[in-house]
Chain A
């Protein structure tokens, strides 16, 4: 869903956008499968366990990860819990004030949960939930991942996916010392260390690629003007092995199944470049953070 109604385009501008995409030359000079320059900063929220800010052109999002000790669910006692919430700030668009941004927030949260947390049995989860457990069945880490959309210029979902990946690689889970000799039924005493931190393993976290179909062609990383001209969009989350970890069609007109399969192969191709770019940006950001 794009922030429609904000972008007033004349008929000429609409034709220009569609024609440019058909000729593989978009309004800002990019090709169809090129991303805008990505800037990643980590550690922007010192009070959180991990945080990151990602800028994708004019789209600006912040992701923060906070962990609290909690009790694992009875259905899965050997796994921690992760909750993902997205908030669209009114600074991005005036219509997000109050409850206006709720629909978009719910859609983004749902798409991110599907891509990063996998199915109910935990298979295909990008985040290894069993690394979050402290005492099986009794104490585990509850991770709250919050995304904030500060400025929206299209492709918010991809930016949020990248921000969450960066925030998770920045996350340090404090070491927990469990008091030995606790009775079986009682909650064991835990001591959260302030000094030692365990880095989160983000090698399995997938990256999200949104392909927007305009006319007969698909583009990657659409700006909000291009999104207003879309006929439909599909967001695909792909991990390093090239497997699909989640996929959502984001509304619009119907798509031929062969188009969907083609989109998957394009997303596969684009995701490899995106992985490399993101990894280099994240390590550069962490290096910057260490120096400052």
Chain B
């Protein structure tokens, strides 16, 4: 889906921090990995964001990164039946769910049970909870189609939805993940690459403040490779942050007209 003509470019690639051509050393069974959508290793999928997708919610956003389609609604600040205790700071409640048709095999979602708590952790350091005491902000994310790199898309989309709802935050949260296949680092992996990966690194960060709010690593990483992957993710998040910001500006200027 293309952005409106005249809008900022929606494709972004981080700068390769090593700045030298990667030697093509592959162990026996590996072959030269060609990305299914013929991107470069360091190139992310084109990002499409739209706020105001759900009319009945306080704020909402829709994000589409290649085949990964996510919609997030934000309700609140409002009263919550779950909160029994008085609290002089606000509460955040997150829920991530998959539709039954999201995965290639019906009903077989990825291990998304912990995505709700990971989304909560990624957002809790960014929202200024002192601005809505005694109330709760609910963030509901629905993954319509899972095309790989689901949680980063959910996190980025959720922070846009929160901005759309007018919840005060220190900064937007942009999130990117990197997959390690043999010796290669692939940014923004698709579902197929994720199933073959040897390790993954997901970072959610605040681009303007240059702070990391959530970080998960699986697989075996040497310190230098971890460093490289982290720089890659931070650079891509900065660029993704700019795209998110331009999406918000467009939405704001559209309502003014």
Contacts and interface: CB of A to CB of B under 8 A. Distances in A.
B210 to A, nearest CB: 7
Given A119-B197, A121-B195, A253 B125 contact: yes
Interface string B128-145: 000000000000000000
B131 to A, nearest CB: 16
For the residues of A in contact with B, the DSSP-based class is mixed
Given A124-B198, A232-B125, A255 B114 contact: no
A250 interface: yes
A44 B234 CA distance: 46
Interface residues of A, number: 35
Main secondary structure of the interface of B (DSSP, over half): mixed
Given A244-B223, A245-B219, A260-B230, A252 B200 contact: no
Contacts of A242: 222-223
24 contacts: A106-B113, A107-B114, A118-B219, A118-B220, A119-B200, A119-B219, A120-B194, A124-B221, A234-B215, A239-B220, A243-B220, A245-B221, A249-B121, A251-B125, A253-B125, A253-B211, A254-B125, A254-B209, A254-B212, A255-B211, A257-B234, A260-B230, A261-B227, A264-B226
Contacts of B240: none
Contacts, number: 111
A103 interface: yes
A268 interface: yes
A72 interface: no
A121 B121 contact: no
A11 interface: no
B189 to A, nearest CB: 11
A18 B125 CA distance: 20
Nearest to A268: B223
Interface of A: 103, 106-107, 110, 114, 118-121, 123-124, 232, 234, 239, 242-257, 260-261, 264-265, 268
Nearest to A237: B217
Contacts of B126: 254
B250 interface: no
Nearest to B203: A257
B156 interface: no
B213 interface: yes
Contact of A119 (B199, B205, B206): B199
Contact of A118 (B170, B218, B223): B218
B227 A250 contact: no
Contact of B218 (A119, A243, A261): A119
A244 B217 contact: yes
Interface string B214-239: 11111111110011001000100000
